[in-house]
Each structure stands twice: as C-alpha cells, then as structure tokens.
Structure 1
Amino acid sequence: MEVATFDAKNRLSALLDEVARGVEVTITRRGVPIAKLVPVGPTFDREKAQRAAEGLRRAGARATLGGLRIKDLVDEGRS
C-alpha cells in the first residue's frame, strides 16, 4: 500500500492498524517512496540464544586439532 506523506500524517493510527495486520505501507513524497512501515519481526529470544551458545560450547569441547596447538597454528600463519 502506498500513502502520500500528508495522508500518512493524518491517518497514522489507521495505517498502524494495517501494519499490525501484516500490511507493508510505503510512504511517498511527490510520488517518490521515502519510507516504509512494516510489521515488527520476531523479538530477540535470549533463552534460545543462550541454549544455542551452550550447544556450540559443548560441540567445541569435543573438537580436536589432531595434536596441534592453537598457538602453533597462529604462529604458522604469521610466517
């Protein structure tokens, strides 16, 4: 849906209701798109992120370098 800036100012509440229903609203000035109102995406789920980080830590703890040391690999990359 496209709306001119003047109409957007006068109809903001109704436009936000549309956005809440999933409609993207493009605001134009003299026919040129300048802004977009879009529904908010999913919020950050801290617990899910913490579970993912813990899974990565557990996977990393099982990983091996076949007897190599990280310091040796870093030093090798510097030569």
Structure 2
Amino acid sequence: MLPTTTFQNIEKSLKQLPDYLQIEVLHYIEFLKSNYVKQIDSKTQSLDQASIEALEDKKVKKRDGFGIWQGQITMSEDFDVSMEELEEYM
C-alpha cells in the first residue's frame, strides 16, 4: 500500500485536474494495471519490494535535445568539394 502522504498527494493533484484529464488518469491507471498485473500480488493488491525495484530498473532515461548524436556522425573531409560529374551544371 502507498504511504498515506503519497496517496494524499495523488488525490490532491487529481482533484485539481479538469474532468477530462481525470478520465485520462483513470485510463492510465488501467493501462498500468493491465501491463504490470504479473507483478501485483493478487492477494494484497500491492507491490512487494522486489517488484518495486524491478519497476524502477525498467525506467528508461529519456535523452533528447542538442548533442545526443555527438561523436556518432562524421563527415568526410572533402564534403563540400564539387564532384566532377556536376562540373557542367555549376
């Protein structure tokens, strides 16, 4: 079971959302339940410590923005030298 403060924070945040976003949160909860049903203890409906750690390990660190391809793409030294085949067009 979640600590009381965590549940209260979720409830407080949920109440601040408009109705249509509350429905989206409900859909997301259903999605999580359907995808992680194997990790939920069917008797207590709560996650054991090993499952929590496994879920935390699965978190993907999203890396986007400037510099994510740094060092992975190279350009040849003669990139801007005109090709012989195109001399007549220049």
TM-score, with length taken from structure 2: 0.24
| Higher relative contact order, structure no. (Cα contacts within 8 Å, ≥ 6 residues apart) | 1
TM-score, with length taken from structure 1: 0.26
Q: Which has a greater percent of strand?
A: 1
